[in-house]
Amino acid sequence: MKGIVVSILMTIPILTSAFYTRQSPDRRTYTHESITEVGTLQALSSYIWKNKLKQVGSEISAVEVFYEKDATSKIEMGKSINAIVQAIADTQVEKKDIAYVHCHADQILLAHQHVISCRDKLSQLKNDVVELRKQLGECLYTVQLFYSNTNWVEMYGEVPYEDFGIKGKRLMAVALPEEDTCKDVKNTDLNCGQNIIVKDKLTSGYHHGRGNTKPTRPQGATTGKCSHGGPNDESRKMVAKCGINKETFIERLSPHHYLHRRAYLSAVAATKDFLIMEDTGILSLLGNKTFDEIFHIKTRKDLSLAFVIDYSGSMKEEIAAVKERTIQHVTATIGSDNEPADYVLSLFNDPVTMNEAFVFRDGYEIIKKIDSIKVDGGGDCPEFAADGILKGTIYHTSKEEINVVLDAIIEKTFPVAEVIVDSFEWSLTSDDNTMFVVDSTVTVLKVAVCCPGEDSGVELFYPNGTKETFASRLSRKLVTNRKEVIISLQHPPPGRYNLERSLPYKWSVNITAQSPVKLETEIFEYTESGALPILKGSPIAGKNYTFYVNIYNLGENGTCNDLILTDILGNALFNIPIIQTTTLMAVRCAAIFTTPNQV
């Protein structure tokens, strides 16, 4: 494929059937995204303050304090919330024709039961956080839009309905099928504010095209069922005309627009309750551990990277594998926020008196120690050393899988914020000097050259022209088993570096860095409702897609000015006009593009 043509600036569709999911018709309007972010962060603040910070400091700043020295973990937390938001958006599209999912057509009791069974499904998914987040999004969709689509807010203002969606709770009365709930109005675009006639019972609007049909009333009738309202709902033209939705601040779209902020506040409170309410929240349903995993509530300060090695007998390959992974991880993260708190090495052997355990703060020390292990004879007793020394999750692995398992565990437990500075084949014909640029956000720089070995003739020069001699504690040169040379620099001064080759060999080079800035891109389908479901499969030629780039940790004044699409070789193809928005978690650049017809 050649590339992607960008045709237009983003236009915001104006049709929906609940709160807007992620973009809204104006900047002030609240969306499922803002409701979820604010409600979830309130819940996490409260939870972290009580359970992780022992109630020290203030509850409001608990999230900031908890992740203060671990920007990468905070980004993971932000991405977990983003995944739930996306599941909410997907639900709006995929369940479009199921009226009770949207509380439409007085199907409020069914909506109540839907949330109950949705919550029940959560406990069955305990071991799969990805599916859990999706299911959670499905539940939260109905929990939140209850406040836009029913008359709860008209009756009770901005408080959440604590019984809604809770097993064993009886809902208050809901309008009967034959009962009129709204009075007719002359002008469907105006004066709809006070149209509800039922008191002390719940009702919601009909919405044509959403799996329900509004009952007709005889000619001249002055009352009938309520509609959802807004230009996309044809039922608003039937008696009782107009509608009751509160999904925006805009009168033309939302007959009860003046209650939008209250609907938002109650939906935020209901979201918080759904997560952490005593007894009924998913925290008590799923427990601390799963809750921590759903939202990535952990930092490196709690985590050691530990290896348990049986060094009796034929463990040579395993020890080599552990050494390799440790070198790769340590050299990439040392001195950055992404480093494990410490490293544990537990060695066991026959007889038991030869068992030893070590804790290292400095990653280079564990590498040195592993190097010094001598493989002796003896039987093995794998369960022994794990006992009492390690409190975390213990993974067992067979010889064949050790590399894969080590990779997976380290990647999952210690995600790194790695950016690729450069990656190239150093062919015989190319220049012996190569330049690359390091910016001031970089905390660790790693240069990997494969595979010249010890006396490699590979030299690194600082921007000021000085050759690195590895005399300081902040820089290291290590050689792995496959003779790969790794140079690791902590807090490198920004500027243009020079890598020099003094022997005529063909090598490959990867230069990577730890930087607190991280990108996430998302591509969405275009829908008439503007709900932005995630793209499944590949883009189809000639169709419009919305493209988000979420930039985490860009700082409060960060901006995105251009999105440049490139081909596989990195050549710039097009600049895409973008719209920048800022969510609670990230700076977001959004753009719409049309895939080209030609390939």
Ligand X SMILES: *[C@@H]1O[C@H](CO)[C@@H](O)[C@H](O)[C@H]1NC(C)=O
Q: Which residues bind ligand X (CB under 6 A)?
A: 7-8, 51, 287-288, 423, 448-450, 462, 464, 466, 484, 493, 508-510, 526, 543-544, 555-557, 594
Please, which residue, 441 or 508, has the CB nearer to ligand X? 508
Please, which residue, 84 or 448, has the CB nearer to ligand X? 448
Q: Which residue has the tokens 């050759």?
A: 467
Please, which residue, 385 or 448, has the CB nearer to ligand X? 448
CB 197 to ligand X: min, Å: 41
Beta strands (DSSP E) in 149-303 are 182-183, 223-224
DSSP 311: -
Please, which residue, 379 or 493, has the CB nearer to ligand X? 493
Rounded to whole angstroms, the Cα distance separating 418 from 86 reads 25
CB 61 to ligand X: min, Å: 18
Q: Residue 385: which H helix or E strand, with range?
A: helix 382-386
**Strand, coil or helix: 227:** strand
CB 531 to ligand X: min, Å: 15
Please, which residue, 374 or 569, has the CB nearer to ligand X? 569
Cα dihedral across residues 416, 422, 424, 429: positive or negative: negative
Please, which residue, 293 or 380, has the CB nearer to ligand X? 293
Q: ∠ CA(200), CA(205), CA(210), 5° rounding?
A: 150
What is the token pair recorded at 85? Answer: 């938001």
CB 460 to ligand X: min, Å: 11
CB 452 to ligand X: min, Å: 10
CB 113 to ligand X: min, Å: 26
Name the residue whose CB lies closest to ligand X.
450
Q: Phi-psi category of 463—alpha, beta or left, where left has phi over 0 and alpha has psi -120 to 50?
A: alpha
Please, which residue, 113 or 510, has the CB nearer to ligand X? 510
Q: Which residue has the tokens 């409260």?
A: 46
Please, which residue, 200 or 278, has the CB nearer to ligand X? 278
Which of 2, 18, 17, 23 is closest to 588 using CA atoms? 23
Rounded to whole angstroms, the Cα distance separating 99 from 55 reads 43
Please, which residue, 231 or 493, has the CB nearer to ligand X? 493
CB 556 to ligand X: min, Å: 5
Q: Residue 436: which H helix or E strand, with range?
A: strand 433-438
Burial of 482 (0-12, 13-18, 19+ CB in 10 A): exposed
Rounded to whole angstroms, the Cα distance separating 181 from 545 reads 40
Rounded to whole angstroms, the Cα distance separating 48 from 73 reads 14
CB 124 to ligand X: min, Å: 18
Rounded to whole angstroms, the Cα distance separating 171 from 13 reads 35
CB 84 to ligand X: min, Å: 21
What is the token pair recorded at 593? Answer: 């593009």
Rounded to whole angstroms, the Cα distance separating 253 from 8 reads 24
CB 161 within 8 A of CB 270: yes
CB 18 within 8 A of CB 32: yes
Is the N-terminal amide bond of 451 cis, ω within 30° of 0?
Answer: yes
Q: Residue 403: which H helix or E strand, with range?
A: helix 402-413
CB 468 to ligand X: min, Å: 8
CB 394 to ligand X: min, Å: 20
338 phi, psi to nearest 5 deg:
-95, 5
